[in-house]
Chain A
């Protein structure tokens, strides 16, 4: 399993109800269903990923997240997940509100645009960074919002969202002490576990 998913896995309790937004081929859900006896659903619109989920027996729903999540009731899931997708939606701020309406807690991972290599790329080349992790050109990228570790923290603060814990990992999705000390500069992927303040 992908290293960032392993970190998330450690944070997840068994036997809970999970909604995985933009679940892709369902790697994490498959693991959680089979090893932690969670019940859950993935949301996905990619035909191949959908079919992979159906093949593996992962409950998956073809639903476009940008068109809303009104069909899910308030606090109807213990956990709402979104890995590496928040930057692809029209209004991440409203989406986070929705996730926290549906789920008691949320785990969100995203690429940190504040990573030193992105900064250097833009500063020295004067062009939008293209990296192994974000291999797209500015015109064809599905990532329509770029934000940093700090940006996300700030949004949580503004929205009065409680950060239960966070992790920051490098391009190989590994955790190191220097990343932890300066996550905004050294992390390529940020992982946040959040909830509404009680």
Chain B
């Protein structure tokens, strides 16, 4: 944390919690009698509630997208580079909502919450949630906040899938969708990676079939391994090569199984750090939500047919070195939107960071998002309110 809050930061923010008592029937058939969602907001909602943007998070994201919780925080929210006064998602003009999805482990109801029926931690009994369930719960949060129509729904990766689902499920409730580094469904290879991640968690003896909290244990080895694998798929070959090359820990080979190359140390660190902030059951849930997502299934695999319901404008962005959700995957969505005659723009951004690029403030990427959202803001007839500091401090 810098000594003073940067001028282009949303500043200090306090998460809020919304309780829902109306039961939510999930895609899997189970019903959540009640649940809560944790969320943050940045900027000010205008009088006719037309300037709201919903941020949908990816696999390991949460509601803390921008700003700081405390002056002692080392880092701001996960998408602080894009959200703030004067930034690509400009809080001088927009009211931005970021939430932790259902099934998460950061304050929304999920596997680490108490199951009211048993008074025990849900653990592995927490029902599997889908992108559709998330969108349904997000719509209820919007209702609660008095927002009927979002100016934009924005998400990268799994977040982009939620934005896409919104455009199909609630076409009249969003003016635009910004879908970054995403896909209309997972490829076989994507599912395969997810399965390896899940198996590494499940086969950890500390997993206890998902009841590790009852056993006062944490499957750190399995979850760490899952994260290490995931991390490799988020980076490009080039990015890893540039960052670590064959840099070694010692001057000479040790000829043992300790850390020989720096990249090994990096991955171990990433894996371990992740286990301290993330729940293994949530990780499994999130990967399942990814696997199940396939909106075109309801129209016999015809993506254009299901997208013909959409009414919003679309911006799609992909990154050249992303092989987890390659540009071709974004282009599947773009081509389906063209076939359906929808307004869509598409930018393929030169980037070295691989899938992770969607989290970086790459100038041309940020410019595209900003240009798109600025025009949408003009369209929902918002006066530019330069210099105002009403955003959540």
Contact = CB atoms under 8 A, between A and B. Distances in A.
B60 interface: no
A51 interface: yes
A51 B371 contact: yes
Nearest to A56: B375
A61 B335 CA distance: 10
A55 B374 contact: yes
Interface residues of B, number: 22
B20 interface: no
Nearest to A61: B346
Given A41-B338, A73-B339, A61 B371 contact: no
Interface in B364-384: 364, 367-368, 371-372, 374-375, 379
A60 to B, nearest CB: 5
Contacts of A72: 338
Interface residues of A, number: 21
If over half of B's interface residues share one DSSP class (helix, strand or loop), that class is named, otherwise mixed; here it is helix
A62 interface: yes
B90 interface: no
A50 to B, nearest CB: 6
Given A61-B346, A62-B346, A62-B348, A51 B341 contact: no
Contact of A51 (B334, B343, B367): B367
A60 B315 CA distance: 9
A76 B337 CA distance: 13
B375 A61 contact: no
A143 B146 CA distance: 56
B378 to A, nearest CB: 9
Nearest to B332: A71
Contact of A54 (B335, B341, B371, B379): B371
Interface in A60-74: 60-63, 71-73
Contacts, number: 50
Contacts of A71: 331, 335, 338
B344 interface: yes
A55 B345 contact: no
A58 B313 CA distance: 11
A136 to B, nearest CB: 25
Contacts of B341: 17, 39
Given A39-B341, A57-B379, A61-B345, 13 more contacts: A17-B341, A47-B364, A50-B368, A51-B364, A53-B345, A54-B315, A54-B345, A54-B371, A56-B375, A59-B343, A59-B345, A63-B346, A63-B348
Interface of A: 17, 39, 41, 47, 50-51, 53-63, 71-73, 76
26 contacts: A17-B341, A39-B341, A41-B338, A41-B344, A47-B364, A50-B347, A51-B368, A51-B371, A53-B345, A54-B315, A54-B368, A54-B372, A55-B374, A55-B375, A56-B375, A57-B379, A59-B343, A60-B345, A60-B346, A61-B346, A62-B346, A62-B348, A71-B331, A71-B338, A73-B339, A76-B338
Interface of B: 313, 315, 331, 334-335, 338-339, 341, 343-348, 364, 367-368, 371-372, 374-375, 379
